[in-house]
Structure 1
Amino acid sequence: MNFWNRGLRSWIFLITVLLVVGSCSGQQEYEQLSDQEKRSAEHALAGLETREGLETTLFAAEDMLVNPTNMDIDGRGRVWVTEGYNYRSSLNPDNPTRPEGDRIVILEDTNGDSRADTSKVFYQGNDINAALGIMVLDDRVIVSRSPHVFVFYDTDGDDRADKKEIMFSGIEGEQHDHGMHAFVFGPDGKLYFNFGNEGKVLKDPEGDVITDEFGNQVRADGNPYWQGMVFRSDRDGSNVEVLAHNFRNNYEVAVDSYGTLWQSDNDDDGNKGVRINYVMEYGNYGYTDELTGAGWRTRRTGMAEDIPTRHWYQNDPGSIPNLLQTGAGSPTGIVVYEGGLLPEVFHNEMIHADAGPNVIRSYPVEKEGAGYSASIENILKGNNDQWFRPSDVTVAPDGSIFVADWYDPGVGGHQMGDQQRGRIFRIAPEGSNYEVPDFDLSTPQGAVEALKNPNMNLRARAWLQLHELGKKAEPALVDLWESENDRYRARALWLLSKLEGNGVDYIEQALADTNPDIRITGLRAARQLDIDIIPYIEKLVEDPAPEVRREAAIALHRNSSPQAAELWAQLALQHNGSDRWYLEALGIGAYGQWDRFFEAWLEEVGSEWNTPAGRDIVWRSRADAAVPKLAQIIQDSSIDVEEKSRYFRAFHFHDSSDKEEELIGVLEGYLPEQEQLNLMALKELDPSALERSSVVQRALNEALASAKGTHEYLDLVEKFELQNQNDELLSLMQSYPDSSLGIRASQLSLDVGGREFIQRVLDGNEEEEKKKVITVLGNTSTPQSIEMLEFYFLDENNELEMRREAVKAVGASWGGEQRLVELVNGGIIPESLHEAAAEGLADSWRGDIRQLAKKLRGEGQGEEIDLPPVSDLVSREGNQERGKEIFEQSCQICHQVNGQGTEFGPALSEIGDKLPKEGLYDAILKPNNGISFGYEGYILSLEDGTEVAGIIQSETETEIVLLTPGGYTTTYAKSEISSREQMGQSLMPENLHVGMSQQELVDLVEYLSTLK
């Protein structure tokens, strides 16, 4: 997701804003507006659709603020906003910047008309350019802007920062949307926050990497944490805990009164995999392989067919299930609404901003076993106005919600398309004025009343005051603890549990409560005290509510007491075999102690372990004793082979010395599906087993014969480095010269000594087979394949037409075109091959090489096509069917729509939902301004002096998988890479539209706008 800067607009536009009513009449009115009128604050509501029974009003707009990236609302009802006017200025050099830096502004309604009438600048500076988070807490303001988290202080109460400190430093991803996000105040008095997968490391103010409570460095290097993370800390930033990890871009975290955490997470663009998560403490959320960090596209046993499941490694033991998949999007701010002003369907539910589909929506949650299920309820939608880009949602003291809208034609890739606007909306029941309640926080009773408020700032201020009062606040808190509202009771419990001397008394009461959520809160509160947690787990180990037992299992995480294993075994005995949430909680509880815990379970369950529930626990276990059980399950003829694949995948997570012996035992079997079992077993074996075991040798030969012509066959050739398969590899090269199957066969053949087999074809007389081999060698683009083609086309004894084909093939890749340019400039390419060289280089990503191609053809540089302003193009009507034809000719080589095309750039199946026509034109005409995260180009320099370029699809400790134009992947060992450099430009050519008429460009955009 992105942030764009805004220019100034007159506040006079707000005078008539409340006159725009009704979704039907609003739509008619909106369609009659000019483009300039549509974008004005005067008509800001005309393009929006609000849920029936609610009303959206405009609280503030340009010129009071521009480009709101995040916001908070204080107890006085004032809206604090971080701006992003200077967002990514280095990538948007044509946009103006503020030399003084971006601002934090305070918006306030001083005259009671529900609209802001003052805008104060709390702080301005280049150190907060495009800050992505703000939390107001008394005289402190916590601002997140990678690489820092700042704490600003207003010590004299004049609404201006006069002191600044650093809370955290070293966070990577400066001005990156996947860096550090907003902080929130938890019901336990702690801070909760997160960063996306560009954050990578958390350091203290002195620049030292922080170590968490378990002695792990807070670093996304797989030891043990990956990618995006969720944190908890004390209010001063000390005692950092990593609560969960392996997210892509978990934009904000929301915490409810029970201490339950909720998040959204963005997928790799174009994959319809945006998700909502219940954050289970210490959970792995599966963006990359838990052990290796490999990307989600990496081939593996048990790989899911559907992309969202595959995307989040949901089939792996150890990956926490997703609560809800919401399709395509660019999710941003999220909050739990614990107020009463909005309709009941939203009470105690998440409310979320998703800038991609232009929507504010809620996800009503239902308990489901030890976890949850959820649905979607829209609140505010930019049905007519796709410039509506909500970046945050916050609850006000009166129970209304406020929405920040940075308002822009595009989203994603760090670009900004608008430089004039930014809005804050208020959503409340129709006719509800913005009236901020007043509390006397100096008394325990007044502070308790404020603790009930749905606004987080008021609750935080009340919490701090009550905590400071200590025993003096106890009677008022007890009254709240004994109320009928369980969320109020939970808030009281967190404070009562921290009372010196008798806090545990209230925990005892909570653990015996009739409400499972209160029992959960009691256990969570107990875990934050310096006490033995085991007696409290004992009270809950047979709790009738699975969600309570889930928390008991999590509470055993890294607990080394002698009773822990027995308690875990009792919890495991209650797994029903169909509750993945419960199973993963058991996995979290057993982390680091699997052998001890699993043994205790086996002693309890005895010979009755082989049930659906027992097999689940074996699948999830990392104990050495689980390995023979996995083999036993696989050899059970009553279990379907599809189900068995999950147990083979479980072997991936074991390093037991018995693993190889058990897999060889599987190879010795004679089940009806033995060929499939052998293939899966061989993939999990160490390659050295081939030399030691005749059983492995026999099974491998049989598997090779049955898997010919598939990627599974190539997996075996690669794994065992087979040098006796070159005939079959050559056959695959000739059968699939333009697909990943043939290219991978070519790479393997060259790696395992198959060069002479390929050379025979090049030296032969079969023209069609020769042409296929030339094509696949060009697509392969390794130093060996380029060398073979170069040798071929420079040999004048070869047929001229085939030599020309070889020249064109060399120019089909980055490394090949680089070599071809060297040969041309060195005068080595004969004139008879110049036309072929020009053809091979004509579509290069690099402009200087395209000019060389023109020179070889004797052409001039050519004139830049003069296009009218985008505003004029948007007003033109296009032909959708013709646009589809143009897409298939010009775009499908890199993009997919509904499964058709090449998987290189982001899929565009729903691009019309994400971008209005203005944004589509900008993406085509200025691709360098909008590179989607995860699709940046890299140049890898190899030790042999060659270069390759593409998108890094996956990276582990030992290798990089590079995706190249055409959708082909090549794996490079890191030992053969001397350096890598990120490209400064998009891999999408800047001149994609060159060669199109203006009408053809309009037709293309017309087609793209229909993809929803």
Structure 2
Amino acid sequence: MAKNISMFKRAIALSIAAAFFTHCSTEAPPVDRSTLTEAQKRLPEYAVSGLEVADGLEATLFAAEPMIMNPTNIDVDPRGRVWVCEAFNYRSELNPGNEVDAKGDKIVILEDTDGDGKADSRKIFYQGTDINAALGIGVFGNKVIVSCSPNVFIFTDEDGDDVPDKKEVLFTGLGGVQHDHAIHSFTFGPDGKFYFNFGNAGDQLLDKDGNPIVDMVGNEVNGSGNPYRQGMLFRCDTDGSNMEVLGFNFRNNYEPAVDSYGSIWQSDNDDDGNRGVRINFILEYGNYGFTDEFTGASWSTRRTNMEKEIPLRHWHQNDPGSVPNLLQTGAGSPTGMIVYEGDLLPERFRNQMIHTDAGPNVVRAYPVEKKGAGYTASIVNILKGNDDPWFRPSDVCVAPDGSLFVADWYDPGVGGHQMGDQAQGRIYRVAPKGVDYEVEKINVTGAEAAVKSLQSPNMGTRYLAWTALEAMGSEAEAALKGLLNSSNPRMKARALWLLARIDGKTDEYIQLATSDADENIRITGLKIARSLQVKNLDDYLAKAASDKSPQVRREVAIAVRYLDSSKAADIWTDLALQYDGKDRWYLEALGIGADPRGEEFFNNWIEKGGLEKPGANDIVWRSRAKSALPILAKLATNAEGSMHDNLRYFRAFDFHKDPSKDNLLAGMLTIKHPQQDSIKILALSHISPEKINSDPAVNKIMRGSLAQMKGTPTYMDWVKRYQLRDQVPSLVSIYTQSPKSEFGPEAIKLVHQFEGIDFFKKQLQQKDNEKVIETLNAMTNLWGPEVWNTFKEISLDESRDLAVRKAAIKAYGTGWSTENNLLDMALANEVPEELKETAMYTLLNGIKSSVRKEAAKMLAAGDTKFGSIEELVALDGSATNGAAMFERVCSTCHVVNNKGTQFGPQLSEIGDKLGKEGLYKAIMYPDAGISFGYEGFLITTAAGEKIAGYISSETNDALEVTVIGGAKTRYTKKDIVSKEPLENSLMPTGLHNAFTQQELVDLVAYLSSLKNGAPVAAR
């Protein structure tokens, strides 16, 4: 539970904070934490003792409560001060037990004024409700950029008194208020531009006046699929102009990191529980595969050549046009990231990404190694909250001295918009042992001094130096040239970005860079040429197209995408002819470069012998050119190819829009092939509905193949599309044998559509009670008074078997439209005694919070029988018994290790994400922490049907809704009247009241044991 403190107490606490940090040691001596109570473990003086720190480093506590609370994002300015977004009011509407500061959240500045390594000064830079739960802060000279969905603010402190003199809106329209999946923080690149991103709730980018932003290639920046979707990555000038979308189709990409060469890195999180958190190296302008690139369908939607492993399936890694992931790190809640380009930390951390992941309580580095045109990466921990599951690192920054500062949200849980603790939060400094925190005064008034500052590992210092040197122009040339002989190539790169901006010197320094022996500097030279939009860019690219380094050629391929030159096709063809058929990074770079002019580039490649090269088939697979289609058809039906290859090529047809593909696919229906039936079915699955409806011969073949497809999703698609009423017997078999399968609900709805309620009334007259119960259970997917009245009549029919009546009363109370009817029956004492227990359990699992609460009252059971969460945490439970509880109750909505029903989030590694406190809160108060992507909606159709569930997939013309129990149903958008968000969680409130205290404790013991790498036997 939140350990709230009143505003009065908080004010008093803050007044003694400086004294606390000045006179009290916050570093705990070696201590056996097993001797501490849970409350003691949470105290600041024991904070560091709960962390595992990498060899050669030590963590010290720079600031903690009451000086700082709930830091979401930080930055360190050139003076070494830590700027903090303090989110006291985080999601207050979803955390009703928490206090609210009516004045709003704060941006605070923490400073160590006496040099002892601990903050002793706290200033409030700004406070307001407009920055409640801000998720990003960047300090750039006298400007401070604060990202707080739906706005990005620029605060300007013109007189340097740490109080803003001006507040402006840079961008707006970014998702809902306080949304975690919307706008994140800004960083400054070596090219003098801002880089930032938003997650898949960002939706759009509007200017300060609310007008749509149009990017440099003429596209409105929004997630409509024209062409961008989901989360996006951006680059723009510091005034917000010249916007570029550098990547799209992320889920919740959080804080980009840009290195001195101009390479971009970032993290992205999966749908909760799917072990698919990833790290991305950015191929600019690429699609990153969270949803189907063309249709927007969910990653879980069945498709040809679907990946076997969910972490890969999650990102459409088998699809042409999905950029490969650099690294997948399992379950987590990734947040802040930097590229560490300092020299204070040990060698293994230098020039590497450093990243905070609040879910598994860890700060990591990801050392990379080059592989072809891309990279591989490994994981090295820096800080790990092994003995403190409340450690929730939310951001990491580099101080001017090269040390790290880590923000710790400090909470029993993370994500889902919940906050279990308002009163605590920490900032750590990480550095080699014994290294004090010392910050030199910055000086950028002269070229030599500014060049020295340009080499700082601190972003704010580099920003000031870069801005000063750029303004100096040619006066800074001599000092900058001194860096060209640096033993550190990253410093050389920083100098080249600025030298090339000097009037009359652009070509000189680009030529110098692109001729360098270091491939990273050659890449930098190409990026500089693109950034400055030099007129002779094609000459640089043509030369670099034969570079021995595939990494350099990767950059050429991307640069060709928007190259306005008659040489573009030849440059791309030269690159494509060098593809070896083994490097997916290289292949996707080629695809990105070719997409806008695919036909021209592809035909040029064919004319120059491309089809004779080893990697030709991959280039055909990735191409979107119309002229690639006939070749793709041959590859898809190659008798010597494997079925795996056939699936791959058939999937590629989905990424072509030219209607000529239908005739090619239709031609496959009658070819002779060793796997002719499989080829036929695949072809029929990819031909457009228009072709099948308009071509009698194709339609006949489809009907002839239908029998082979019974019981499959393909069968359901065909029956639904062509209204095949003669398939009712097969549909009945599907919904009775697999009522909770992905197509069971569709089957019964089709039967109802074809035959009406009389068909089911006849089914319910059977003497076989098990079959009657199967029919009742399946009918819960139907809608309408006739259906509900049938349930009620059977439940009250005393001549029926009791098991049948229980199934009927449960069916009557299942669903948005009928659960209130059952509640009314119960309140009026009209439920027969023998059915009351079933009715109450059904209502406890209801959709509406009001229904669940009334049911809990009637059970006369409350939370008091369990005691406080603190008391529960202190109790020992049996994980073995808890596993049985999970299987009996929770597995109807959750999956652990591939067992259970996929309705709510997967829980296979929930013990890494939530401590016991967080688990108890999630079970007992589910409304307080709804995972993103599992928010409930009430869908109303034109026929009046109301369906409550979460939207598991959405395309341009349809919604897929998953209801309690895991059943999925697809609705066309034209049939949907409204889509209203539900205020409460779809997980039943009060469900825990059906447990004894020990059963609840056992369940939490089991869930706590579910961690990455935990042995199955322990579960």
Query: 1:751 and 1:321, CA in 2 relative to 1: closer, same or farther beyond 3 A?
Result: farther
Whether the 8 Å contact between 2:337 and 2:353 is mirrored in structure 1 is yes
Match of 1:308 among 298, 308, 311: 311
Aligned counterpart, 2:686: 684
Tell me the SS of whatever aligns to 2:167. strand
8 Å CA contact retained: 1:730, 1:745? yes
What is the CA RMSD across the aligned residues, in angstroms? 2.7
Deviations along 1:823-881, one digit per CA (max 9) or x if unpaired, are 999999999998976675453233554587799xxx67566643322112111111222
Q: Which residue of 2 aligns with 1:715?
A: 717
- What does residue 466 of structure 2 align with? 463
1:509 and 1:266 map into 2 onto residues whose CA distance is: 40
1:576 is aligned, of 567, 573, 580, to: 580
The answer for unaligned runs of 5 or more in structure 1 is none
Identity level (%): 50
Once the two structures are TM-superposed, the CA of residue 32 in structure 1 deviates from its matched residue by 1.1
Alpha-carbon distance in 2 for matches of 1:562, 1:829:
80
Aligned twin of 2:250: 247
8 Å CA contact retained: 2:363, 2:382: yes
Give the Cα separation in 2 of the matches to 1:271 and 1:282. 26
Aligned to 2:1016: none
How far residue 803 of structure 1 moved from its aligned partner, in angstroms, is: 6.2
**Partner deviation per Cα, 1:199-231 (whole Å, 9 max, x = no partner):** 111111111111111111111111111111111
Residue type at the aligned position of 1:20: A
The whole-number CA distance in structure 2 between the counterparts of 1:970 and 1:288 is 18
Shift of 1:353: 0.5
What is the CA–CA distance in structure 1 between the aligned matches of 2:186 and 2:837, rounded to whole Å? 60
* Ranges in structure 2 where 5+ consecutive residues have no aligned partner: 1012-1019
Residues in 2 aligned to 1:627 and 1:739: alpha-carbon distance in whole angstroms: 35
The residue aligned with 1:811 is 813
How far the C-alpha of 1:814 sits from its partner, in A, is 2.7
Shift in CA distance, 593/839, structure 1 to aligned 2, threshold 3 Å: same
Q: 1:426 to 1:720 in 2, by over 3 A?
A: same
For 1:138 and 1:279, the matched residues in 2 are separated by 28
2:353 maps to 1:350: yes
Residue 91 in 1 paired to residue 94 in 2? yes
Displacement after TM superposition at 1:279 (Å) = 1.2
- Contact kept in structure 1, 2:938 and 2:979, CA below 8 Å: yes
CA deviation vs aligned residue, 1:919-939 (integer Å, no higher than 9, x gap): 111111211111111111111
The question of whether the paired residues in 2 share the 8 Å contact of 1:727 and 1:757 is answered with: no
The CA distance in 2 between the partners of 1:618 and 1:35, in whole Å, is 61
State the distance in 2 between where 1:43 and 1:17 align.
Answer: 10
Output one character per residue of 1:480-517: Cα deviation in whole Å (capped at 9) or x when no partner. Answer: 12323210111011101111112121001111111111
TM-score (norm 1): 0.94
Take 1:824 and 1:462, find their aligned partners in 2: how far apart are those partners? 73
Task: Give the distance between the partners of 2:41 and 2:842, measured in 1 at CA.
Answer: 47
The residue that corresponds to 1:781 in the other structure is 782
Could you tell me how far apart the structure 2 residues matched to 1:725 and 1:788 are? 27
Structure 1: distance between partners of 2:777 and 2:796: 18
CA offset at residue 695 of structure 1?
5.0
Corresponding position: 1:652 with 2:664: no
Q: Which amino acid aligns with 2:782?
A: S
CA contact (8 A) 1:781 1:813 kept: no
Q: Report the Cα distance in structure 2 between the residues aligned to 1:851 and 1:86, rounded to whole angstroms.
A: 26
Q: Return the alpha-carbon distance in structure 2 between the equivalents of residues 221 and 688 of structure 1.
A: 24
Q: Secondary structure at the match of 1:954?
A: strand
2-structure distance, mates of 1:640, 1:573: 25
Q: Which amino acid aligns with 1:917?
A: K
The yes-or-no answer on 1:191 pairing with 2:194 is yes
Which residue number corresponds to residue 132 of structure 1?
135
Selected match of 1:608 from 603, 606, 612: 612
Determine which of 219, 225, 241 is the counterpart of 1:222.
225
What amino acid is aligned across from residue 814 of structure 2 in structure 1? A
Query: Where does residue 962 of structure 2 map in the other structure?
Result: 963
Give the corresponding residue for 2:1002: 1003
| 1:418 corresponds to 2:421 | yes
Please state if 1:705 is matched with 2:707: yes
Task: State the one-letter code of the partner of 1:786.
Answer: V
* CA distance in structure 1 between the partners assigned to 2:909 and 2:805 by the alignment: 43
How far apart are 1:305 and its partner, in Å? 1.4
Alignment of 1:974-989 (within 5 A): 974-989=973-988
Aligned residue pair count: 1000
Deviations 1:937-957 (A, max 9, x none): 111122222311001111122
For 2:608, the aligned partner's letter is: E
C-alpha displacement at 1:789, in angstroms? 4.0
| Corresponding residue to 2:265 among 251, 257, 262 | 262
Match of 1:535 in 2: 539
Which deviates the most, 620-629 or 112-121? 112-121
SS in 2 for 1:135: strand
Aligned positions of 1:769-848 closer than 5 A: 769-778=771-780, 780-783=781-784, 786=787, 789=790, 793=794, 802=804, 805-817=807-819, 841=843, 843-846=845-848, 848=850
Rounded to whole Å, the distance in 2 between the matches of 1:628 and 1:797 is: 67
Give distance in 2, aligned partners of 1:834 and 1:1001.
Answer: 24
Alignment match, 1:291: 294
Q: Using a 3 Å threshold, how does the CA distance of structure 1 residues 206 and 696 change in structure 2: closer, same or farther?
A: same
Counterpart position of 1:727: 729
Change beyond 3 A, Cα 1:185–1:250: same
| 1:796–1:100 distance in 2 versus 1, CA, 3 Å | closer
Q: Give the C-alpha shift of residue 914 in structure 1.
A: 1.1
Query: Quick one: distance in 1 between partners of 2:836 and 2:559?
Result: 71
Question: 1:426 corresponds to which letter in structure 2?
Answer: R
User: In structure 1, how many angstroms separate the alpha carbons of the residues matched to 2:882 and 2:728?
Assistant: 44
Aligned to 2:875: 876
Q: 1:274 is matched with which residue?
A: 277
**Residue aligning to 1:20:** 28
CA contact (8 A) 1:4 1:417 kept: no
Distance 2:785 2:510 in 1: 69
Q: Which residue of 2 aligns with 1:914?
A: 913
Q: Name the amino acid aligned to 1:270.
A: G
> In the aligned structure 1, how far is the partner of 2:839 from the partner of 2:332?
42
Q: Distance in 2 between matches of 1:784 and 1:673?
A: 49
8 Å contact kept, 1:51–1:379: yes
Residue 1014 of structure 2 aligns with which residue?
A: none
After TM superposition, the score normalised by the length of structure 2 is 0.94
SS at match of 1:150: strand
Partner of 1:555: 559
1:168-179 alignment runs, 5 A limit: 168-179=171-182
Cα separation, 2, equivalents of 1:104 and 1:907: 36
Taking the aligned partners of 2:348 and 2:943, their CA distance within structure 1 comes to 63
Q: Taking structure 1 as reference, are residues 617 and 65 closer, same or farther at Cα in structure 2, changes over 3 Å only?
A: same
Structure 2: how far apart are the matches of 1:853 and 1:424? 45
Contact 1:890 1:992 in 2 (8 A): no
1:900 is aligned to 2:899: yes
SS in 2 for 1:336: strand
3-state SS, counterpart of residue 94 of structure 2: coil
Shift of 1:267: 0.7
User: Could you tell me how far 1:118 is from its partner in structure 2?
Assistant: 1.2
* Equivalent position of 2:44 in the other structure: 41
Question: In structure 2, do the counterparts of structure 1 residues 228 and 690 end up closer, same or farther at CA, with 3 Å as the change threshold?
Answer: closer
Give the aligned partner of residue 82 of structure 1. Answer: 85
Q: Which amino acid aligns with 2:872?
A: L
Deviation at 1:18, TM superposition (A): 6.4
Is the 1:749–1:755 Cα contact (8 Å) retained in structure 2?
Answer: no
Instruction: Give the Cα–Cα distance (whole angstroms) in 1 for the partners of residues 761 and 315 of structure 2.
Output: 43
User: Which is worse superposed, 879-888 or 191-200?
Assistant: 879-888
Tell me the alpha carbon deviations over residues 443-473 of structure 1, each in whole angstroms, 9 at most, x when there is no partner.
1111111111111111111100100100000
1:581-660, aligned counterparts within 5 Å?
581-605=585-609, 608=612, 611=614, 613-660=615-662
Q: How much has 1:887 moved relative to structure 2?
A: 1.8
State yes or no: 1:942 paired with 2:944: no
Inter-partner Cα distance in structure 2 for 1:468 and 1:817:
69
2:845·2:852 contact (CA, 8 Å) conserved in 1?
yes
1:152 to 155, 161, 164: 155
**Superposed displacement of residue 657, structure 1:** 2.7
User: How far apart, in 2, do the equivalents of 1:853 and 1:168 lie?
Assistant: 46
Please say if 1:53 is aligned against 2:52. Answer: no
